[in-house]
Amino acid sequence: MTVTLTAKRTLTASAGGRLNLDNINPHVKAAKYAVRGELAVKAEEYRVKLAQGDKSLPFDSVIFANIGNPQQLDQKPISFFRQVLSLLENPSLLENPEALRTSFGYQQDVIDRAKTLLADVQSVGAYSHSQGAPIIRDSVAKFIEERDGFPANPQDLYLTGGASSGVSTLLNVICDGPSAGVLVPIPQYPLYTATLSLLNAQCVPYHLEEHRAWGTDVNAIRQNLAQAKAAGTDVRAIVVINPGNPTGASLSAEDIKGVLDLAAEEKLVVIADEVYQTNVFTGEFISFKKRLRQLQQEVPGKYDSVELASLHSVSKGMVGECGHRGGYFELVGFDPEVAAQVYKYVSIMLCPPVIGQCLVELMVNPPKEGEPSRAVYEKEYNGIRDGLRKRAFALYEAFQRMEGVECQEPQGAMYLFPTITLPPKAVEAAKAENRAADEFYCLRLLDATGVCVVPGSGFGQKENTLHFRTTFLAPGTDWVERIVKFHSEFMAKYK
């Protein structure tokens, strides 16, 4: 079907229409989003070629290590989640619970959960409350309370279509024009810079400390802040991604305190992107909310003015349900009148996908100890966790074997972000193609091996350094060896 239709002559090109590249919204034009850019498009073309039986490529599969998309890379969804969702999609299945049990192994807790959720949302085909279904926000509040040991209020929670739409909402409300600035870590997930571009607001970059496992250096942030202020930027917020994307770093309690101190002193809204909160290999995840509440108890008064927005998602962790577009953010310390504007803003888009909202509920309220689906849930969850860890370290060890490659030990998230030092001849060859050297390297890697990674320039990096980001989601380790082999040939070629 594809072939027939796409082969038809497209009538797209217009003769002298209204819009062209030079008169559309210049902020859309200015926005950059490398994760789905040229490399990703080329990788998809290779995938289609291979699927069509093309034998001309020097590899037999494309490895999409460019994007944290676990289920594209054969990560199996968690059975409990999908069993409940299947009942929500077709509630008439609930009319024959015996057949669900005997023919499909659905347990009673699956059936009960579906009934509970349906009683609240009525139908997953109905619009919900714009902030998200009440029962689901209740579950999220309970999850946050149990995670942090501090209360959470469902009224402060906003369910979203993935964390991305939450970030967009927050930045839309916070930024009031071209002088508004937001501190963004470098390297960063490019959603932040892209959204600030769209809003014509200022990205105020602060560099993470690669030599300290990509931690935050508050003194450096203070310098960037002072420079931005001196240049007339009204810096209003600071973004922290913890665990880090693309860095994989997991922040210490001390680093988090440093950011909150700064926020309290400088009146910065803290946007804590915590979508990788369960992807932690080293130490434990500490939420900004928990740390803030601790500090508010320890030093009464000092942190009362801090405004914090924390984001979470069903896309990452051991859930990995990117395609369902589910997530939430919690507002802490926001003026209720501002929160009302956030509500109005989200209501214009009506509501986040309801089935994604239900998945948020399942994520934050999985089967408990002793419940019938618990054993399988635990086995699947731990299997995914251990697999991620294993592949992260396999990749890390491969990088240690590669000349001119340095990588921090894996701590969390789904990524490694090694530094690469390339020979001058490679840098010249890149220049001749009018490309950044890391982009040149990543393109050659894709062409030679089918492994698609994202150049560091897509995330930002210190001047005169080169990196790339790779996920450690693809199954097996064969593809890691493809990188090792390519790298040694590349280095030999440009020596």
Alpha helices in 175-252, H assignment, sequence order: 191-198, 218-230
How many binding residues for its own copies (CB under 8 A)? 126
Contact 174, 180 (CB under 8 A): yes
Binding of residue 237 to its own copies (CB under 8 A): yes
Binding of residue 306 to its own copies (CB under 8 A): yes
Binding of residue 112 to its own copies (CB under 8 A): no
SS3 334: coil
Binding of residue 6 to its own copies (CB under 8 A): yes
Q: Which residues pair with 64 in a beta bridge?
A: 452
Q: Which stretch binds its own copies (CB under 8 A): 19-27, 215-223, 378-386, 456-464?
A: 19-27
Instruction: Compare residues 244 and 356 and give the one whose CB is closer to its own copies.
Output: 356
Taking the complex as a whole, how short is the minimal distance between the CB of residue 369 and its own copies, in angstroms?
A: 19
Rg of the chain taking only CA atoms, in angstroms: 24
Instruction: Compare residues 48 and 492 and give the one whose CB is closer to its own copies.
Output: 48
Binding of residue 124 to its own copies (CB under 8 A): yes
User: Contact with its own copies (CB under 8 A): which of 196, 262, 280, 332?
Assistant: 332
- Give the relative orientation of helices 288-298 and 134-148 as an angle to the nearest 10 degrees: 60
Taking the complex as a whole, how short is the minimal distance between the CB of residue 334 and its own copies, in angstroms?
A: 6
Identify residues 21-80 at the interface with its own copies (CB under 8 A). 21, 23-26, 28-29, 31, 33, 35-37, 44, 67, 69-72, 77, 79
Buried residues in 40-75 as b, exposed as e (16+ CB within 10 A) = beebeebbeebeeeeeeeebebbbbbbbbbbbebeb
| Residue 238 exposed, middle or buried by CB count within 10 Å (0-12, 13-18, 19+) | buried
Instruction: Compare residues 355 and 484 and give the one whose CB is closer to its own copies.
Output: 355
Between CA 375 and CA 366 the distance in angstroms is 11
Binding of residue 90 to its own copies (CB under 8 A): yes
Instruction: Compare residues 29 and 425 and give the one whose CB is closer to its own copies.
Output: 29
Q: Which residues pair with 158 in a beta bridge?
A: 329
SS3 of 275-318: CCCCCECCCCCCCHHHHHHHHHHHCCCCCCCCCEEEEEECCCCC
User: Contact with its own copies (CB under 8 A): which of 42, 49, 115, 129?
Assistant: 129
Residue 195 identity (one-letter amino acid): T
What CA dihedral angle connects 182, 188, 191 and 195, to 10 degrees? 20
User: Contact with its own copies (CB under 8 A): which of 113, 316, 324, 467?
Assistant: 324
Identify residues 436-465 at the interface with its own copies (CB under 8 A). none
User: Contact with its own copies (CB under 8 A): which of 57, 186, 338, 427?
Assistant: 338
Residue 364 identity (one-letter amino acid): V
Identify residues 244-283 at the interface with its own copies (CB under 8 A). 267-269
Identify residues 149-208 at the interface with its own copies (CB under 8 A). 151-156, 161-162, 164-165, 168, 172-177, 191, 194-195, 198-199
The pattern of x and - marking residues 352 through 381 that bind its own copies according to CB under 8 A reads xxxxx-------------------------
Instruction: Compare residues 58 and 301 and give the one whose CB is closer to its own copies.
Output: 301
Taking the complex as a whole, how short is the minimal distance between the CB of residue 337 and its own copies, in angstroms?
A: 4
Taking the complex as a whole, how short is the minimal distance between the CB of residue 277 and its own copies, in angstroms?
A: 19
C-alpha separations of 312 from 30, 168, 278, 293, 370 in Å: 28, 14, 10, 18, 27
